[in-house]
Amino acid sequence: MTTAIRTSTALTVDNVTLTYPDGTGRLTALDRVSLRVTGGTIAAITGPSGSGKSSLLAVAATLIHPDSGHITLETPTGTTDLATVGRREAAALRRSSIGIVFQQSNLIPALTALEQLEVMSHLGQHLHVSTQQRRETRTRAIELLDAVGLADQKSKRPAHLSGGQRQRVNIARALMNNPALLVIDEPTSALDTERGSAIIDLILTIAHDHNTATLLVTHDRTHLHRMDAVYTMTDGHLAQIASATP
Ligand code: ADP
């Protein structure tokens, strides 16, 4: 007899439909989409522009509620339906459990690379942060910048970093709070092949080491063979085209 093994971290998207207002009617951006990604693995989403990829990331990241369906995030501490979570709880989840890396890096121009990460940690905390907490935050921020290969760039502001370096700060920042779920849009779009490969290496290592369930949108087909599962989106329909699991 086989017993279903449940990993402690997983994202399950179940029959999710999302529509947007469109003139007098509605446009269906996600049409009964389902997928599951477990901790430590990466699901890549490909597909033409306008097919619904960003919409899928947005619902998984709690930024938009779908019209119907369930999006379940299981973590070692509990299970939440992201499709129906309230605004305040969603904001708390994005601080504690969901790392978001979108194409526009949204780095704050006045802050150094190190400060971009530190500020993540202090969001949502009380005004008074103890010296001990500050010290721990700084240590983690330095460790992460080191992990993304930016240990020697930590005092630089975004204007003095290259596109690839900014992307790496972005990824390090999304990991600051050790998220169960990482949602990444086009991480290699602004990079040459070699730097793109290095970013994919980094994301693979992170997903594995941190047991993060990762949803990654990409146009870049060169790295697809390294993903645990590959899906393609067409007109809001999601279909799996490859899987590393037999
Ligand atoms: P992709 O990321 O694959 O380019 P999107 O998820 O951005 O696709 O878009 C899917 C469809 O939804 C497209 O037809 C797009 O025009 C539409 N769409 C996206 N965002 C909105 C919005 N905020 N309001 C109305 N329509 C939208």
Tens of pLDDT, residues 16-75: 999 999 999 999 999 999 999 999 999 999 999 999 999 999 999 999 999 999 999 999
Compute, in angstroms, the gap from residue 159 CA to the centroid of ligand 1. Answer: 30
Compute, in angstroms, the gap from residue 19 CA to the centroid of ligand 1. Answer: 9
Candidate from 17, 26, 55, 183 with most ligand 1 atoms within 8 A of CB, to mutate: 55
Ligand 1 contact, 54 CB (< 6 A):
yes
Amino acid 124: pLDDT: 62
Amino acid 125: pLDDT: 60
Q: In what order do the strands lie in the sheet with 78-81?
A: 25-38, 10-22, 68-75, 78-81
How far is it, in rounded angstroms, from Cα 122 to Cα 120? 6
Helix (H, G, I), strand (E, B) or coil at 125: coil
Amino acid 18: pLDDT: 98
Ligand 1 contact, 20 CB (< 6 A):
yes
CATH of 10-109+177-243, picked from 3.40.50.300, 3.50.80.10, 3.30.70.120, 3.40.50.960, is 3.40.50.300
Compute, in angstroms, the gap from residue 56 CA to the centroid of ligand 1. Answer: 10
Atom of ligand 1 lying closest to residue 22 CA:
25
Task: Answer with the residue of higher pLDDT: 56 or 187.
Answer: 56
Position 246 pLDDT exceeds 50:
no
pLDDT above 90 covers a percentage of the chain that reads 60
Compute, in angstroms, the gap from residue 150 CA to the centroid of ligand 1. Answer: 34
Nearest residue to 29 (alpha-carbon basis) of 47, 17, 45: 17
User: Is residue 212 a contact partner of residue 181, using CB atoms and an 8 Å limit?
Assistant: yes
Q: Strand pairing of 68-75 and 10-22? A: antiparallel
Compute, in angstroms, the gap from residue 233 CA to the centroid of ligand 1. Answer: 12
Ligand 1 contact, 27 CB (< 6 A):
yes
Atom of ligand 1 lying closest to residue 185 CA:
2
Amino acid 2: pLDDT: 43
**Closest C-alpha to ligand 1, atom 16:** 50
Atom of ligand 1 lying closest to residue 233 CA:
3
Residue with tokens 């890096």: 105
**Closest C-alpha to ligand 1, atom 1:** 50
Position 3 pLDDT exceeds 60:
no
Ligand 1 contact, 234 CB (< 6 A):
no
Amino acid 82: pLDDT: 96
pTM of the model: 0.89
How far is it, in rounded angstroms, from Cα 213 to Cα 42? 6
E strands, the chain, in order: 10-22, 25-38, 42-46, 68-75, 78-81, 98-101, 181-185, 213-217, 229-234, 237-243
